[in-house]
Structure 1
């Protein structure tokens, strides 16, 4: 699956997402304008999906971070993506983004 993401302000990014049958895990390769690329790996958990990755320069002052993102279905057309970062190797986590995705109703032109 290919994702294109564009915020209201600033640069966007995109990802390639897929299932790896050899490992049984899902992978997401994210590339954005800043702070750079990251690979997330994970799988199903408690009614959703969780993926983690090591993101260089993700912090507000350019610190590297472990990033955990969870995807939780809200209904058949809506998914919540909650992103948390840890700057102490997973001891503590803080929310960095909380997004809601809705299925597009009309066809793309």
Structure 2
């Protein structure tokens, strides 16, 4: 009972900034904002409202990608033409000096990728948690986002079941700026 009374009181003092009591940490005014360095902006070319088509021009979905959490996270909201929906959370990990993506979707799938810029394209890689039931081999994933001169972005998703010796295209999409952004 005393803990229930004490904790809200400490929280109130922290929020109010009562001298001599617990206070919320405020960063010094001269300290750079988290995620303001150039490496945190490397994936900004993907931010926007997009219509996505296959290389032949057939619509395959739409995506809204935004910078969130003080511009530390690139958050994707994917809507596939066939009813698939998913979200990815992309962040530059300063400890590992790599980009990481965490993907989840309405099919119960998740994927964790790591990587970084290679010749101006974002290249992230990962592996599936479980070996393929038919082949017994672990499936590797490689997704490359390439900004194009016309402002579009190509996303090429490839898979390999032979430790990266050969790759098969799983998805090839061209992201073009949407004429009317979604609400």
Q: Quickly name the TM-score band, shorter chain normalised.
A: 0.7 to 0.9
Distance 1:9 1:108, change over 3 A: closer
SS in 2 for 1:75: coil
In structure 1, what is the Cα distance between the partners aligned to 2:181 and 2:162? 44
Aligned residue for 1:29, secondary structure, equals: strand
**Residues 47-101 of structure 1: CA distance to partner in whole angstroms, max 9, x if unpaired?**
21110011357x7x7x852110111111363111101000122121111100111
Q: Find out whether 1:36 has 2:109 as its counterpart.
A: yes
TM-score by length of 1: 0.83
Q: Distance in 2 between matches of 1:27 and 1:74?
A: 22
Rg larger for: 2
| Separation of aligned partners in 1, 2:175 and 2:181 | 16
Residues 1:21 and 2:109 aligned together: no
**Structure 2 counterpart of 1:7, from 59, 80, 92:** 80
Q: Residue 171 of structure 2 is aligned with which of 93, 97, 100?
A: 97
Change (3 A) 1:92 1:107: closer
Partner of 2:127: 54
Residue 102 (structure 1) shift: 2.3
Q: Which has the higher strand share?
A: 1
Root mean square deviation of aligned Cα: 2.5
Tell me the number of residue pairs that the alignment of Structure 1 and Structure 2 aligns. Answer: 108
Partner of 2:15: none
- Which of 45, 62, 69 is the aligned partner of 2:118? 45
